[in-house]
Structure 1
């Protein structure tokens, strides 16, 4: 695409002139015409002239005494020809011929159309921006603004054009203009104002400089942040418990009990085991316990992911090593995580991944508060509170011989189970508001979710729990083309069906054929009908009837899936398949 900087049209139109005698011989040619005729090498001048004007055309001009015009393409030349009868003297008639190359004109027209398309596109972007854009010159005179200004101020954009901002300030139409602050500071300036309509407006003015370093234009962006403030106020309706940098947002009774128990055990030094699926927030609860404990002021919170560190390195990471303990060991040795967590809290995430030989050393620390470095012989005393976490079934691991029973009972002093999102759906709405607020501030936007979008997201099982929800909302936020994110944007992101199918529930997926097993009574089967319609058609008909009845009785895909022992993704996909439910993009 051509841009204004690289736009270069023809500097002049070349004009070729020639005079032909009545027999067609060249009598005169100007330099341009001689240059054109010289381009066609290997041909005589007469042959070259015949390519521009045929003998038939020449005779017609001479016999009729009238001029002619025509177009001809010769090699790279696109010539517009004009020929006139010319009386050279009383005894001889000639032809005066003028030609100009119109190819540069066509190029100029194409470039002009391309530039016009660019200008139209930029104008459309400018006018359709959700934020108001206000452009003034260095004297504070309004040059241009877009349609959004009327939504923010209630005054048509045409009113502002040509107005001095000082006049608009005096009339009370605008408050103190950011434009003059930009002129004064010679750099971008941001202010927040509340206008006469009660809207809270974020204004950012930016200067545009010419080559001499002088400000020629000030572009001001106006954004309504009232919705962001409303979202923040709405968040206050929900419980918000700070565990450090990340608050815990919840509205469910289930999570209220988790927070209450975690806060209570924080006052003691007892070992805590956090149970729950991946992404439910076990580390956040662990930090909450540490922050509310007596160890917060004097000791650190140290996290070790037992599943992320190679087993051959895990022992030295946990317990440290002495100088010369192994090849590559640092001179003087290195302290391990237990030493770093002295007087504080050690969070052992994914403790189910801890190998058996290290479980023995961990048990010793828990029982005797001492350990030995790798390569060392002298026991080291340590004062550490242990918080462990896992998403695995430790009891089953004990039965299978993969986890020490004595260690299991030593860490299973105060177990706290953090429920998955599918068991506390009341928390999804406040979490959506919380992360929406975070990403609005991160990307300097004011996006919202439609109620139907929220309902769809509440019906999803979230196998990745809070972590998945946060990542999904950020992807949705970045990809959605408008400020109001509706179900169609879910379709654009993953495909609505994929939203419910790509992620399997935490439990194993059931075989779909097994889901319907036991629902059919053999005495009700009409084999003649099966033979007529076909086995698959009968199965689908029965499936549709069962699902129709289930949706009529239970209403939601979640409850239908629960009642029929189907995954929710299967329940909603089949509802779309049989027309029991309509996909959002097909509605109204």
Structure 2
């Protein structure tokens, strides 16, 4: 769902030229940038035959991923370009880099591209411009035959304005830009994606046999405790950890302020437009009933039939509303020393 539209471009008329075009994937941390890169790399830009439900050619995995933020400049050079024996301390033999090992139609994935320093940016620019490179300590020109896919969670326009990222490198990378939206944006636009995403992640965590039950339990916990308006600051990565916590401990504590109250959660979901019509009616009937304590009065206020109100009141939400109300009353109750003042 995140990248279906973009992926179709790799399976149409220009597929045979896409290995010459670098791809830049931008999006917040945990939004699936590496999954998009691997999907592009594993497709090898080979057309998909819908009639036979298979690719037009066989291929083997050829995605070489490198997290640039985790390595020093020297190690990045060695890993990418390779090195000659004696090029630096510890270089005891000739070693090819990933640009050299990458086969035709293979993919080198450069994660956190905005973290590299100026010297590496210059060398990457040369690879993109000429499709050639040199091993560290060597003068022989070698040819890169694969595709470059880069990713970042930074605002590259701001990085260029601050002088930390070369504009010419950006303009070489931006021929094909894919944006991975945040999980909150995905669920705001398509609330129905949550059950399918939970099912997929639950299968990866607990296996197919336990996936359905775990997904249902996680979805119930999320709707009851976090509410539809929860922003998911950690995106899909946070959702996966939420599922793990629900499986192991039966609960999850977000790395933020206390979860929204039931009223605040409903209000956030209403403003975000992420509630279905039935969820909206159930939530509003429950809120009004929590105030009135009467089905008849609730039906009168909402201009609904009493049977409808009775059927729509959510017992679990009602219990949580009453817990919050009791807690608020307890906090407002005067102490013995202040009662007589």
Q: TM-score, normalised by structure 1?
A: 0.40
Report whether the alignment pairs 1:262 with 2:30.
no
Matched, 1:286 2:62: no
Paired residue for 1:337, among 73, 82, 98? 98
Q: How does 1:316-395 map to 2 (within 5 A)?
A: 316-331=78-93, 333-343=94-104, 344-395=106-157
Distance apart, 1:342 and its partner CA:
3.0
* 1:283-325 CA-partner distances (Å, limit 9, x unpaired): 1111111222247726711001111112232111111100110
**Could you say which structure has the larger radius of gyration?**
1
The equivalences for 1:202-241 within 5 A come to: none
Give, in whole Å, the separation in 2 of the partners of 1:312 and 1:397. 22
Structure with bigger strand share is 1
Alpha-carbon distance in 2 for matches of 1:313, 1:389: 19
2:218–2:246 Cα contact (<8 Å) kept: no
Deviations 1:482-537 (A, max 9, x none): xxxxxxx44xx569963469xxxxxxxxxxxxxxxxxxxxxxxxxxxxxxxxxxxx
Matches within 5 A, 1:164-179: none
Q: Are 2:202 and 1:436 aligned?
A: yes
Distance in 1 of aligned mates of 2:198 and 2:138: 51
- Partners of 2:81 and 2:133 within 8 A in 1: yes
Question: Aligned pair in 2 of structure 1 residues 496, 290: CA closer, same or farther (>3 Å)?
Answer: closer
Q: Residue 346 of structure 1: SS of its match in structure 2?
A: strand
CA distance in 2, matches of 1:378, 1:495: 51
**Corresponding position of 1:397:** 159
What residue ranges of structure 1 are gaps of 5+ in the alignment?
A: 1-249, 481-488, 502-547, 563-578
The Cα of 1:450 is off from its aligned counterpart by: 7.2
Which structure has more relative contact order (CA 8 Å, sep 6+)? It is 2
8 A contact 2:198–2:219 mirrored in 1: no
Q: Per-residue displacement from partner, 1:460-481 (whole Å, max 9, x unpaired)?
A: 211111111112211211112x
What SS does the corresponding residue of 1:286 show, helix, strand or coil? helix
Q: Quick check: 1:286–1:347 contact (8 Å CA) kept in 2? A: yes
Post-superposition Cα deviations, 1:134-189, rounded to whole Å, max 9, x if no partner, equal xxxxxxxxxxxxxxxxxxxxxxxxxxxxxxxxxxxxxxxxxxxxxxxxxxxxxxxx
Partner SS for 1:407: helix
Which residue number corresponds to residue 498 of structure 1?
A: 258
Query: Aligned in 2, Cα 1:561/1:289: closer, same or farther, shift over 3 Å?
Result: closer
Question: What residue number does 1:148 align with?
Answer: none
Higher helix share: 2
The reply to whether residue 477 of structure 1 matches residue 247 of structure 2 is yes
Distance 1:582 1:311 in 2: 58
Distance 1:361 1:434 in 2: 40
In the TM superposition, what are the counterparts of 1:70-469 in structure 2 within 5 Å? 250=1, 255=2, 258-265=3-10, 267=15, 268-269=18-19, 270-294=21-45, 297=59, 300-331=62-93, 333-343=94-104, 344-425=106-187, 426=191, 427-441=193-207, 446-447=213-214, 448-449=216-217, 452-455=220-223, 456=226, 458-469=228-239
SS at structure 2 position matched to 1:274: strand
Give TM-score scaled by structure 2 length.
0.66
Q: How many residues align?
A: 256
Task: Call closer, same or farther: CA 1:494–1:411 in 2, change over 3 Å.
Answer: closer
| 1:557 counterpart residue number | 268
Counterparts in 2 of 1:443 and 1:360: CA distance versus 1, 3 Å:
same
Secondary structure in structure 2 of the residue aligned to 1:323: coil
